[in-house]
Amino acid sequence: KGIITKLDYIKDLGANTIYLTPIFLSKSNHKYDTIDYKEIDPQFGNNEDLKELVTNAHKKGVRIVLDAVFNHCSNKMMQFQDVVKKGKESEYYNWFYIHGDTVTTEPCNYECFGACDYMPKLNTSNEEVRKFLIDIACYYIKEFDIDGWRLDVSDEISHDFWRLFRKEIKKIKEDCVIIGENWHDAYPFLMGDQFDSIMNYSFTKACLDYFAFEKLHTQNFVYKLNEILMRNKQAVNEMMLNLLDSHDTHRFFTEIKKDKDKLMAAIAIATCYLGAPCIYYGTEICMEGGYDPDSRRTFDWEETNWDSTVISTIRKVLSLKKEPSLQEGEIKLEAIGEVFSLERYLENESITLLYNAGCCDEVLDSLNQISEKECKIVVENGFQNDVLRKGGFIILKKTIS
C-alpha cells in the first residue's frame, strides 16, 4: 500500500498520472518475466490493493497506467511449462517459437527476449495467444478501471497484433492511453491505428548528449529537438512521453555528474517541450544510480536529506503544464548563442524558457519582454538583475492584451 499512502505527495509534486512497471506475479526483481498475468505479485499487494489504489488515485485526479509485457513471459508460466513436459503434444506448443519437438535449454532451442532463456518469446501471430493477451489487457480495464497501458518492447510485436489490441482497448475505454516502448523512430506504429505515443527516448538521448556528454552545442540541440518533432504528426507529438531516465537507463542525475542546475533545466525543457514530461521516481530528490538494478534504489523519505530548492523548483515547473499554451500551443526553438530558447504560444498567451548553456553569465537586456508589464517570470533558477548566470534558466509568461 506504499503508493496509496503517498498519493498526496505524488499529486503535490505535479503529477496527474502514475506509470507502474510490471505488477504481475514474477520471480525476478524487475518483474518482466510474468508467471501469471492475472495475479498481482504479493510483493506489491493483491487485487483489492490495486482496486484501492486506482479508486483513491481517481478521486485525486490521478490516473494509473500499467506495463503490458506481451512480447515474452516467464519460463515458469503454466503454458510454457506444459510444453516443457509434453513437447510438441502440448496444446500450447505453437504459443512459442520452439525449434524442435521438445524444449531444451542447453543449448536453448526456443526464441526468447534477448539472450534470457528464462523469458521465452510469445508467438503473437497465434490466434489463441492474441486472444489470451488482449483478454488480459481488457480485464484490467474492466475490473480495475486502469487508464492505460505501456507496451514493453513493443517494436518486437507485429503491427497486426497492435491494431487488434487498439480496437479492443478503445472499445472498452476510449481515452485509455496506449504508449509504446520504441527506442527509435516509431512512425509506422504512430499512424493512428496502433499506439497513441511512445516513450520518447530520442528526446532522452538528445538531453544526455546536450547536458551530460556535451556532444551538442545549443544550435545542434535545437536541430535535434526539431528533427524529433518532424518525425510525427502534431497529435502524436502532443502525447509523447518525454523522459530523462527510466528503469532501463542510468539515472540522469548520475550522468550529469550531480549537477543540480542541469537537472532542473532539463526537467524544465521536458515540461515545456511538446508532450508529457515523465519524472522517474526519485529524480526530484536527486537520486543517483547506474544501470539496472542500481537505477532502482529505494526512495529516501527522510525530508531532511532532500534539497528543498530543487524539489520546490521542480514543483513550480511541473505546475506550469496546466497552462493552455504548454498543452496545445505551437512551439518555436532557437539558439541565441549558447542560450537555448523554447517558446510555446497560443492565441494571446506565450510561455518562454531560456537556458544559459554557455561558459559565462549572460545579460538579457536585449529580450525586451522581460521588462514589459504583461510579462511575468514564473520560475527561475539563477536569474537576477537581468543577468542569467551560467547554468541558470528562467520561464516567462506573457499575455498580449
Residues annotated as catalytic (active site), given as ranges = 152, 181
Q: What share of the chain is helix, strand, coil (3-state, %, to 5)?
A: 40, 25, 35
**How far is 143 from 140, CA to CA, in rounded Å?**
5
213 burial type by CB count under 10 A (0-12 exposed, 13-18 middle, 19+ buried): exposed
Q: Which residues contact 127 (CB under 8 A, 6 or more apart)?
A: none
**How far is 240 from 291, CA to CA, in rounded Å?**
24
Q: Which of 209, 292, 196 lies closest to 246 in space, CA to CA?
A: 292
**How far is 3 from 17, CA to CA, in rounded Å?**
12
Q: Give the Cβ contact number of residue 194 at 10 Å.
A: 22
Please give the C-alpha separations between residue 78 and each of 37, 73, 92, 260, 275, in angstroms, as whole numbers: 11, 10, 10, 48, 40
Q: Which residues contact 78 (CB under 8 A, 6 or more apart)?
A: 36
**What is the number of residues in the chain?**
401
Q: Which of 273, 243, 279 lies closest to 351 in space, CA to CA?
A: 273
**How far is 212 from 266, CA to CA, in rounded Å?**
10
Q: Where are the alpha helices (DSSP H) in 61-208?
A: 78-86, 127-144, 159-172, 201-207
User: Which amino acid, 232?
Assistant: N
Beta pairing, strands 276-278 & 241-243: parallel
CA angle, 298 as apex, 292 and 313 as ends, to 5°? 100
On the question of a cis peptide bond just before residue 324, with omega within 30 degrees of 0, the verdict is: no
Please give the C-alpha separations between residue 153 and each of 67, 129, 246, 316, in angstroms, as whole numbers: 11, 17, 14, 33
**How far is 367 from 338, CA to CA, in rounded Å?**
15
